[in-house]
Amino acid sequence: MPNVPCEQVEGHGGASLAEPGEQDGERAGHGREAVRERAGEPAAGDRPLDNPAWWSLNGGHARFAERRGRVVRYPVDVAPFLALPDEPAQEDWDDLAALAGPGAQVVIPGLRSEPPRGWEVVMRLPGVQLTGEDVAGAYDGELVRLGPGDVPEMLDLVSRTEPGPYLPRTIEMGAYLGVRHDGRLVAMAGERLRPPGWTEISAVCTDPAFRGRGLASRLVLAVAAGIRERGETPFLHTVATNATAIRLYEFLGFRLRRQVMFAAVRVPAGTPVG
C-alpha cells in the first residue's frame, strides 16, 4: 500500500496535505490530471523500481524472503507484501497459491497483469511513485531514532493516522525516526522497501494535534539524508488522487516517475497446496 502522509502542511504555496478519504471531487480530478501530465518514461538504471517488492526481497531484504519458486513474500508480521516476477507465468501463480494458502488474501504492490481465472481481485488502489535523485536530505538533531521498545507507541500512532501498513516487525526493515513532545511520540517516518540502489520512505504520519508544524517534511528529509549517506536514492509512493501530497513531495525535491497499481487478490479457496 502506498504511503499517505497525514500532516497538514503549509510549506508549499499554502497547500495543506489532505487526510485519507478527502481526495475526492475536484481535487481527485486534478490529481489524475497531474499524473497524466507529469509522469514520464522510467529513466535508465532504475528498473528495480518497476517491481520494488520483488527486487527488495531478492536484494537488500533477502534475509526476510519467504519463497517458493520465483514468488517471494515478507513474513506476515513484517509487511503484507507478496511479489511476483515481472511477467508471471501460470506456475508462478500456482506457487503464490501454495505459499499463501487457499482462500488467503495477499497484497501485490505494482500488479501489472490480471490473475488467472478463479482468482478474485478484492482491491485496486491507483498510486504514483516518486523518486528523489535531487533530494540530498537534511539531518535534524531534534529527531530521535526509534527502536523495538518504541513499537507499541508506533503502532498506536499508526492506528490513529493510517499512513499505510505498519506491523509489529516493520521496524526491522530499516531506520525509523520520530518526534517526541513531553515524552510522547507525535510523528514518525522511516524506511521500507530496499530494491538495489534505492530505499523507500514510508510510514510518514503525525498526531492530529501536531499537524501544520512541518514535522512530516523534516522527517522525510532526515530519513532521506540517512539513505543518501549509504549511497542509495530515496523514493516513495502515494495515492494517485492526492494532488496535494504530490505537490508537497515535489516541493521537497522528489519527481514523479510513474503510475502504479496496488492490488489485493484472494487465492481460490479450492486451490490445492503442494
- Going by pLDDT thresholds of 50, 70 and 90, the confidence category of residue 36 is very low
Quick one: pLDDT at residue 5?
54
Same domain, 74 and 197: no
- Which of 11-25, 165-179, 250-264 has the lowest average pLDDT? 11-25
Same domain, 92 and 190: no
- Examine residue 8 and state whether it is found in any structural domain, yes or no: no
Q: Which residue has the higher pLDDT, 229 or 248?
A: 229
- Examine residue 51 and state whether it is found in any structural domain, yes or no: no
Structural domain count, the chain: 2
What DSSP designation does 5 have? -
Amino acid at 167: L
Same domain, 188 and 137: yes
Same domain, 37 and 147: yes
- What average pLDDT score do residues 175-196 get? 97
Nearest to 145 by CA among 225, 81, 73: 225
Is residue 248 predicted with pLDDT exceeding 50?
yes
- Examine residue 153 and state whether it is found in any structural domain, yes or no: yes
Distance, CA of 108 to CA of 100 (rounded, Å): 12
Going from the C-alpha of 235 to that of each of 240, 244, 246, the distances in angstroms are 15, 17, 13
- Examine residue 170 and state whether it is found in any structural domain, yes or no: yes
- Examine residue 148 and state whether it is found in any structural domain, yes or no: yes
Cell of 198: 534505492
Same domain, 34 and 162: yes
Same domain, 109 and 135: no
- 93 is in which domain, residue-wise? 62-125+262-266
